[in-house]
Structure 1
Amino acid sequence: MNENQALGAFAAISNQTRLRIVRMLVVAGADGRAAGAIAEALEGAPPSRISFHLSQLEQAGLVESRREGRSIIYSAIFPALSDLVAFLMRDCCEGHCAVCDKAIALFAKCTGRPAHSVD
């Protein structure tokens, strides 16, 4: 991830509603959540407003959508989120931190699906 991509991603999640949506989708994992369920979870947010926020997150490359029947399901793009975290951590300790390096490697493996073991 380059600096401009990071700036776009950070701009997208710098809004309280969008940050809540991303966190909600991270919890949902690869299965995601329907747009209507996201709106309900945000208690009273108008669907048109939620659509706007989801669109902003999609344009930033942090979430993706797919149609299932009459529903639109949104999912976090875990590689993009891990790249964003890695962007922040990459230069930790002048780029020589074994703990951060291991964390970055683990983030890169995340698919949003539970794993029985992680190397």
Structure 2
Amino acid sequence: MIQLNSELLNELNELGREINQPLVEDLFKSLKQKGPVLLEEASTAYQEKNFVQLEKIIHQLKGMAGSLGAYSVQDLCETIENQAQLDSSAIKLSQIELLSERMAETNIALEVWLKDRPFFIQAA
């Protein structure tokens, strides 16, 4: 099971309350919408051996995951990103597949986290 940084999420949630913006929900919605598209693009870039593009895509995913405290996803992205920069031959398709699995687990963990904190009405 994916571990989220609850302290970070609580701080974001509190900040959202102060400014009357559903920050965590907005970040999560962005991750749910853009994440699958970026993962598909990452897989395509890998298959086409376009490691410059792969690095850019993985960097985006890393930022999205980090902003929500999903550090295991962020760490895997950092590993892939570094490999794309230094030794693209070290990148394996299994890493992209693992990233996809971790993103799915992160979505579930965030849904659970948000259900336990019903401050804002949650959009479907």
> How would you bin the TM-score normalised by the shorter chain?
0.3 to 0.5
Counting strand residues as a fraction of each chain, which structure ranks higher? 1
- How does the TM-score come out when normalised to structure 1? 0.38
- How does the TM-score come out when normalised to structure 2? 0.37
More relative contact order, 1 or 2 (CA 8 Å, 6+ apart): 2
Counting helix residues as a fraction of each chain, which structure ranks higher? 2
